[in-house]
Amino acid sequence: MIILSRGEEANAGLRYILDNGFPNKEDAIYISVTQMAIINYMTQMGYVDSEYYDEYIIKIEEILEDYEQYCTNGKWIDQCEEVKLVLDLFNKPVEIQKEYKKNYTDEIILNGDSELKKSEDGKYYETGLLSVKRSDVSEYSVELIKVPYGTLVIDKNGNEKTKFNINDEFKIKVPVDKVNSNQINVKINIDNTFNTYYIYKSQHYPTAMSYKKMSLDDGFINVIYSKSYSKNIKKSKEFYLDIKADSIVSVPPTAAYIPLIILSVGLLAIILSFTVIMKKVKNNV
């Protein structure tokens, strides 16, 4: 009987391999390809002794060269897209992990020019292009909290929408004639599910799916993978966006009619006075 204990989550490079290989792709070819990609990745990352897998790595390199040649020389011309996906399992994970580690954040961050400035046509205050950053998240939504009537969330092509992929950009537009404050409130909501994989350890001799030799005092400790688990993230963060100070409508829309009302009352008084005077003149003639 094999006794396993669950350890830490697989890192970003491994998640990429497993998300794009076996078990998520069940074609027979992906079983061996995924095994090779894991060992190749772990060797590049220094997690295994390269000498331990020297012969195996040489074999991997030979197979990859065959894949590329078969695609480029026309033998597998109708499978080039599939070949590219296989090669990506070997070529991408290290950079993905380095980039992930460099830019990791578990906060919801709003990037871009969030100050609302008057648009060229003068009808709106609008932000620059905004984007959201949060590691391990692929989607988010923008919720308008305290904003004037008619405020819009649009994508970079001008289409109105509130749900975005993590690499998308958006803008917020506020009608000029509806603004009576120098600030609006928006909320970024994360309600996202993604795959994660847990590392399981056993006391059995390493197999091709293993990638790490632990302390020899404990014997050989395998590190193997379970099926993917769905991990759900529910988080929100509110942001306060300022309207550029020198372009704020400083009086409420109703107040704008006060000068007109005063002018109208003044004109009416003049007309009435003139009418009374003319009647007196007429009566005296």
Q: Mind listing the pLDDT tens digit for each residue in 157-184?
A: 999 999 999 989 999 999 999 998 889 9
Query: What is the extent of the structural domain holding 281?
Result: 251-285
Instruction: Please tell me whether residues 40 and 74 are part of one structural domain.
Output: yes
Instruction: Please tell me whether residues 132 and 74 are part of one structural domain.
Output: no
Question: Over the stretch 209-260, which tens digit does the pLDDT of each residue have?
Answer: 444 444 333 444 455 666 778 889 999 999 999 998 655 544 445 555 555 5
What per-residue confidence (pLDDT) applies to 38?
83
CB 13 within 8 A of CB 41: yes
Instruction: Please tell me whether residues 121 and 50 are part of one structural domain.
Output: no
pLDDT tier, 188 (very low <50, low <70, confident <90, very high otherwise): very high
Percent of the chain beyond pLDDT 90? 33
Instruction: Please tell me whether residues 28 and 142 are part of one structural domain.
Output: no
Instruction: Please tell me whether residues 276 and 182 are part of one structural domain.
Output: no
d(C-alpha 65, C-alpha 68), whole Å: 5
Instruction: Please tell me whether residues 159 and 184 are part of one structural domain.
Output: yes
Q: Which helix (H) or strand (E) holds 69?
A: helix 54-72
Q: What is the CATH number of the domain that holds 174?
A: 2.60.40.2410
Among 26-30, 55-59, 237-241, 245-249, which stretch is predicted with the lowest mean pLDDT?
245-249
Class of residue 85 by CB neighbours under 10 A (exposed 0-12, middle 13-18, buried 19+): middle
Q: Share the mean pLDDT of the chain.
A: 77
Q: Choose one of 35, 70, 104: the last residue of a domain.
A: 104
Query: Would you say residue 277 has pLDDT above 50?
Result: yes
Q: Which of 199, 227, 201 is nearest to 214 (CA)?
A: 201
Instruction: Please tell me whether residues 182 and 125 are part of one structural domain.
Output: yes
Report how many domains make up the chain.
3
Q: Which range, 4-8, 19-23, 39-43, 163-167, is most confident?
A: 163-167
Q: Which of 229, 228, 223, 231 is nearest to 26 (CA)?
A: 228
Instruction: Please tell me whether residues 72 and 90 are part of one structural domain.
Output: yes
Q: Is residue 152 part of a domain?
A: yes
Q: Is residue 220 part of a domain?
A: no
d(C-alpha 91, C-alpha 86), whole Å: 9
Token pair, residue 182, equals 């120098």
Instruction: Please tell me whether residues 127 and 175 are part of one structural domain.
Output: yes
pLDDT tier, 9 (very low <50, low <70, confident <90, very high otherwise): confident
What per-residue confidence (pLDDT) applies to 173?
96
Instruction: Please tell me whether residues 90 and 141 are part of one structural domain.
Output: no
Percent of the chain beyond pLDDT 70? 67
Q: Choose one of 85, 104, 123: the last residue of a domain.
A: 104
Instruction: Please tell me whether residues 173 and 85 are part of one structural domain.
Output: no
Q: Choose one of 76, 104, 132: the last residue of a domain.
A: 104
What per-residue confidence (pLDDT) applies to 37?
85
Q: Is residue 222 part of a domain?
A: no
